[in-house]
Amino acid sequence: MKLKFTRKTWYFFLLAAAAMSMLGGFAVLSGLDFSGLELIVFCITGIAVLFLAAQKGAPAKDKRSYTLVFVLLMLSKLAAGGWAGDLCSALVWPGLLAIEYGHGRPIQRPLQLVCISEALRLLFWLLTKYAGMSALAFWTNIMFVLLACARGWAALVLYKTQEETRAQVLKVMEVVGLNTKYYNRYPHEFSGGQRQRIGIARAIVLNPSLVVCDEPVSALDVSIQSQVLNLLRQLQESMGMAYIFISHNLSVIKHISDRVMVMYLGHVVELADKKELFANPSHPYTQALLSAIPVPERHSKRKKIILQGDLPSPANPPSGCIFHTRCFMAQEICSTQKPELRDIGGGHLCACHFCNGACAQNETTEEK
């Protein structure tokens, strides 16, 4: 049987180390020898930090940070009894918790308490040991107990947060149709359709009211596209989300959209309800796009509009109407005056000087 250790496992090790540290703290207050417990805490903490540093797939920055914490832990043991060893020991837990806080773990207050406790304990210990202020020995022990409790609090929060995160991830995996057995798999172990479901899961895990879908099905085959689009529809109905769906595939747009915006070189040229836009395209660019959709009828007489000229640079768009250099209806006014996006009826917006003429042209083309 293959054992698979996860971050939750190492958080449990840290929790165990913190618990041992708390026992050591109370042993100090009772006047007992806690050197054995201290060694156990050192070993457990070292194992946890070492394996966090060696995690497969972890960013290089994280590995360097965990390795530095491990080095500090080793130095604290090698230089035990000296001020350098005490300083290294005081930096281990704050450094470790700071890394986890940088990953978004909700441990701000435990981290602050650990840092303050470590600083005060180190200060009292140095004053007691090197300044001859033996009266501070009691407060040094109190700070050690407080520090042990702070470590335990931080480790418990990390462990519980990881457990809650795992439960939430498993729930979202079920929602998007992924097998929960795949929880610990790496990205290269998933198919294209499964990766797209993972992308959807990442987008909905925080229960958003709006999701931006930028070409979500462009790299998938038709059958997988259908599954993903149906999943998006189901999620929209069950979670009440709105989508901004960006795509070059007009068939996909027609299937999933309620309202369609057509853009050219970053400018809106037409905006209308889906049925209205596909039935009565007003802008010449929209007409050209729709005429390029393959028609299943063998004897269809719909004429395909071929746009002439090269696509202008978005960094240096043409003056006037941005589409006039390729428009089959362009006139002199198009090159000098930019058309406004105006309502031509029923909430149908179009940015063209000749929207009515474009409509008439489209009807004539379809009749032919």
Q: What is the pLDDT of residues 115-134, one digit of tens each?
A: 888 888 888 878 877 777 77
Q: Return the domain boundaries, the chain.
A: 7-173, 184-256, 258-294+305-368
Contacts of 163 (CB under 8 A, 6+ apart): 8
Say yes or no to pLDDT of 359 above 60. Answer: no
Say yes or no to pLDDT of 239 above 80. Answer: yes
Query: Tell me, what's the pLDDT at 126?
Result: 80
**Count of other CB atoms within 10 angstroms of residue 4:** 7
Query: Tell me, what's the pLDDT at 73?
Result: 82
Say yes or no to pLDDT of 97 above 90. Answer: no
More confident residue, 3 or 277: 277
Residues 34 and 27 sit within 8 Å (Cβ to Cβ): yes
- Confidence tier at 365 by pLDDT (50, 70, 90): very low
Query: Tell me, what's the pLDDT at 298?
Result: 65
Query: Tell me, what's the pLDDT at 28?
Result: 66
Q: Tell me which amino acid residue 48 is.
A: A
Residues 302 and 341 sit within 8 Å (Cβ to Cβ): no
User: Please, what is the Cα angle at 304 between 302 and 307, to 5 degrees?
Assistant: 155
- The arithmetic mean of pLDDT across residues 155-182, rounded, is 87
Q: Tell me which amino acid residue 226 is.
A: S
Say yes or no to pLDDT of 74 above 60. Answer: yes
Query: Is 0.75 topped by the overall pTM?
Result: no
- Confidence tier at 362 by pLDDT (50, 70, 90): very low
CA-derived radius of gyration, the chain: 33
- Confidence tier at 147 by pLDDT (50, 70, 90): confident
Q: Tell me which amino acid residue 177 is.
A: G
Q: What is the pLDDT of residues 203-230, one digit of tens each?
A: 888 889 999 999 888 878 888 888 888 8
Query: Tell me, what's the pLDDT at 43?
Result: 78
Residues 349 and 342 sit within 8 Å (Cβ to Cβ): yes
Query: Tell me, what's the pLDDT at 243?
Result: 92
| Mean pLDDT of the residues in the chain | 81
Say yes or no to pLDDT of 367 above 70. Answer: no
> In this structure, which CATH number among 3.40.50.300, 3.80.30.20, 1.10.150.120, 3.30.565.60 belongs to the domain 184-256?
3.40.50.300
